[in-house]
Structure 1
Amino acid sequence: MKRKVLLIYTGGTIGMEKDYETGSLRAFDFGNIFEKMPEMKLMECKVFVHPFAKPLDSSDMGPEEWKIIARYIHKNYHEYDGFLILHGTDTMSYTASALSFMLKGLKKPVIMTGSQLPIGDLRTDAKENLLTSLYYASLYEGDEAVIQEVAIYFEYKLLRGNRTLKYSAEYFDAYASPNYPILGQSGVHLNIIKENLFRCKMQEDFHIDEHISGDVLFWRIFPGMNFNHFRDIPKMKVLILQVFGSGTIFSSEGTQEILQEIRNNGTEIIVVSQCISGGISFGKYENSNVFAKIGAISGKDMTAESAITKAMHLIDNPRYPGKFSDYFSKSLCGEITN
C-alpha cells in the first residue's frame, strides 16, 4: 500500500523560477510540480498538492498563517499518512516551533523544508530537499509512523523543528540544532536515530490549539545599552531578554530596580542566551543572580524562536490553567533538554 502525503506549499525560494526575460525570480504554478519534477511520480508514496492561493515570502509568515496550516492539517489528518510543508527559509524555524506547540497528540510526520536556490536553478538544493522530505513524511513501520513530530529536513539532515535555527543565508547547510542531536541523516541509506525521536506521553487524540498571543516582546541585551529605555516600553504580558552567555547581564546601578518594576507590572520575564549552543544557568555567575531575585524564568537551552512561539502559545491560554512559569519551564514537545 502506498502511503499518502499531503504537500502544502506556502511559498519561498523553493517554488521560484527565473524569468529569463527580466532575470528576476517569480513563483511558478505549484500545481504543475509533477511536470517540473517528474521524479516525484516514481516515489513510493502518493503525493497530493495543496498550494497557498498566494505564495508568501517567509517574512510574511506569522500567527495567522500558522493557524491556516494547522487547520488544514487538522482537516485532512485522517486522510493522509504524512504532511510536507514547503516554506521560505528565513522564518521556517518560527513556523516549525509554533506548529509543534499547536498540533496536539500528533502521531504522524509533519516535515518542513525549503531551499536556498530556486527549484528551476541548475545547481538547486530544492530537489534533494523535496524528494527526501517526502520519504521521511511517508516513513512507516507497519501501521505506525516513524516520525511523530514537526521536523525540518535540510541538506541531508532531519532536525527537530523546535530545536532549529537558520544560521546561514549563504550555504546549502543552512540549519543547525545546536542543543539537540539530529533525528536522521540521508546518504546512501535513509537513516533514523530512533532514540532521538519525540513521542507524546499524553494519551490524547489529535487536535489543534490555535491560541497565539502577540503580547510578547523580544529584546537583545548589548554592552552600553541605556537600560532606562525599558521604563518607556508599554506594558506587555511577556518580555524575553536575550542575555550574555549562561545568563549574565551588566550590574549597572538600577538594573535590578528596573527589572523589578517590569515584574511588578505583571510582566513575565524570560531569559534566553545569545550563544547558539548551551543554555541559561542562574547562579553560575554573580551577574546572573539578579534574575533569580526578580523571579525571572530561565529559558534553559531553548532557541529564541522556540521561546518566542512557546510564550505566544501559553499566554492567557485557557488550556493551561495555573502559573505561566510552571508551563513554560516544562518541556511540552521536546523543546527543552530535561
Structure 2
Amino acid sequence: MNQSIERLLVLYTGGTIGMQQSAAGLMPASGFEARLRAQQALEAGPLPSWTFRELQPLLDSANMQPTHWLQMASAVRDAVAQDDCDAVLLLHGTDTLAYSAAALSFLLLDLEIPVLLTGAMLPAGSPGSDAWPNLFGAMRALQAGQVHGVQLFFNGVLLHGARVSKLRSDAFDAFAEAPRKRLAAAASERPPALLPQRPAQVVVLPLYPGVGAAQVRALVASGAQALLLECYGSGTGPADDVPFIEALRHAHRQGVVLAAISQCPGGHVDFDVYATGSGLRDAGLVSGGGMTREAALGKLFALLAAGLDHAEVEHWFCRDLCGEMAD
C-alpha cells in the first residue's frame, strides 16, 4: 500500500545541482529554495508540499567527510522527531553521493520514513541540465510511495542506497547498481539501531603488486579502527608475504577490524576458493561478500560509530542489514 507524503523535507547539502559560477569556478550557492519554488510553478502535475533546509556549510561533495554523514543523519532524525516529517529528499553532489547513500542506509537503519538522495551532473539552469528532472522526478517517486528505506534517484531510476556506485563522470546515467553476486535472502537476526556515539576512522587499502607490511603498519599507526582491504578477485592477496600477514595479525590483535571486499566491479569474496584467500581469512579478515566499497565503508563506519566492540562489528559486518548483501 502506497503511503502518501504530507510533510516532505528538502535537505540541501550543496553539490552541482545548486552551483553557480564564481571567479574560481562553479561553487555551491545559497538561495536554492527560491529557485526551486520558481521552477515548481512551471511543472505540470501535483507535487508534495515541502519545507526546505540548507545544511551548513554547503559543500562541493568532493569535500564530503564522514562527519558530514553524521550531520546529515542528525538532520534527518530531527526532521522526523521535531518537525514530524514523513519523508526526506536530500540534495547532494555526485562525486560522493553513493558513499553518503550507503552510510545513511546504515546510520538510519531504524528509521521508518523514506529517505531519497539525488543530485545533478549539470547545475540547475544550465542548458540541457538534468537537475530539475532529477529533483522533481524524485519528488514524484516519493509521492507515489515508491521509495523504501534509503534510496537514490538519478536519471529516472530508483537505486538501492547501499548497492549503488558512480560509474561514469560524463553522462546523465552516471549511477548504477554494481552487478555483484549476493547472498540468497534469508531470515536474519534483527540488527541494533546504529545510533552514532562518536566518529569512527575506517581506512581503505586496495591491494596491488608491491603492497606490504609497511602500508598496513602506517594505516594502523594513523589511528584506523577498521581496515577495509580491497582484495583481488574472490578475496585473495599476497598470503606468502610473511611480514604482510604478520602485520595484519598484529593489527587484529590490537583490536583493528579487518574486512575484505573484492576490487573487481563484479567481484565477490569467497576465502575458500584459493589458498591465498584462506591465508587472509586466517590473519583475521572477515568477508564482505559482494558489497561495494561504498557499502562496506559506510557499514563499518556506522557499526563503529555506534560504539559496538570488535567482535560485534565483525558479527554484524558479515550479516545483511538492509539488502546490501542479499537479493
TM superposition score category, shorter chain reference: 0.7 to 0.9
Alignment of 1:260-279 (within 5 A): 260-279=249-268
Deviations 1:108-161 (A, max 9, x none): 211000010011111101111111100122223xxxxx4331000111211111
Which residue number corresponds to residue 161 of structure 1? 161
Give the 5 Å matches for 1:165-314: 165-179=165-179, 209-233=195-219, 234=221, 236-254=224-242, 255-314=244-303
Amino acid paired to 2:176: A
* Rounded Cα–Cα distance in structure 2 between residues aligned with 1:307 and 1:329: 10
Report the Cα offset of residue 17 of structure 1.
3.3
The residue identity in structure 2 corresponding to 1:328 is F
When normalised by structure 2's length, the TM-score is 0.85
Report the Cα distance in structure 1 between the residues aligned to 2:322 and 2:191, rounded to whole angstroms.
14
Question: Using a 3 Å threshold, how does the CA distance of structure 1 residues 305 and 51 change in structure 2: closer, same or farther?
Answer: same
**Structure 1 residues 175-223: Cα deviation after superposition (integer angstroms, max 9, x where no partner):** 1211479xxxxxxxxxxxxxxxxxx99699xx87124533322111111
Per-residue CA distance 1:59-95 (angstroms, 9 max, x = gap)? 2222332222222222222622311000001111111
Specify the code of the residue in structure 2 equivalent to 1:285.
Y
Q: Does the residue aligned with 2:42 lie in a helix, a strand or coil?
A: helix
Structure 1 residue 302, shift from structure 2 partner = 0.8
Q: Tell me the amino acid that sits aligned with residue 132 of structure 1.
A: G
Instruction: Go from structure 1 to structure 2 and tell me whether the alpha carbon gap of 1:290 and 1:208 turns closer, same or farther (over 3 Å shift).
Output: closer
Structure 1 residues 37-52: aligned runs within 5 Å: 37-39=40-42, 42-52=45-55
Task: Find the residue that maps to 1:76 and give its secondary structure.
Answer: helix
Task: Tell me which of 96, 103, 106 is aligned to 1:98.
Answer: 103
Counterpart of 2:60 (choices 53, 57, 62) is 57
**How far off is 1:8 after superposition?**
0.7
Identity %: 29
Whole-angstrom CA distance in 2 between matches of 1:156 and 1:218: 31
Residue 57 of structure 1, CA deviation? 0.9
In structure 1, the residue corresponding to 2:162 is in which secondary structure?
Answer: helix
SS of residue paired to 2:258:
strand
Alignment partner of 2:17 out of 6, 14, 18: 14
Per chain length, whose mean CA-contact separation is higher, i.e. which structure has more relative contact order (CA < 8 Å, sep 6+)?
2
Kindly report the root-mean-square deviation, in angstroms, between the aligned alpha carbons of the 2 structures: 3.0
In structure 2, relative to structure 1, the CA distance for the partners of 1:64 and 1:224 (3 Å cut) is closer
For structure 1, the 5+ residue unaligned runs are 141-145, 182-199
SS of equivalent residue, structure 1 residue 249:
coil
In 2, Cα distance between equivalents of 1:17 and 1:120: 9
User: Helix, strand or coil: the match of 1:121?
Assistant: coil
Counterpart of 2:200, as a letter, is G
User: What are the Cα deviations for residues 294-313 of structure 1, in whole angstroms up to 9, with x where unaligned?
Assistant: 23100111111111121112
- Of 6-15 and 254-263, deviating more is 254-263
In structure 2, how many angstroms separate the alpha carbons of the residues matched to 1:201 and 1:209?
18
Q: What amino acid does structure 2 have at the position aligned with 1:230?
A: V
Conserved in 1, the CA contact under 8 Å of 2:16 and 2:93?
yes
Cα deviation 1:27-54 (Å, max 9, x = unaligned): 2511212124433584331122212243
Q: Distance in 1 between matches of 2:75 and 2:65?
A: 16
Greater CA deviation, 224-233 or 242-251? 224-233
Q: CA deviation at 1:320?
A: 7.0
- Are the structure 2 counterparts of residues 158 and 247 from structure 1 closer, same or farther at C-alpha, using a change threshold of 3 Å? same
1:240 CA drift (Å): 0.9
Alignment partner, residue 192 of structure 1: none
- 8 Å contact kept, 1:104–1:208: yes
TM-score by length of 1: 0.82
2:90 is aligned to: 85
Amino acid in structure 2 at the alignment position of 1:25: L
Structure 1 residue 104 displacement after superposition: 3.5
Among candidates 130, 135, 138, match of residue 125 of structure 1:
130
Query: Hey, what does 2:76 align to over in structure 1?
Result: 73
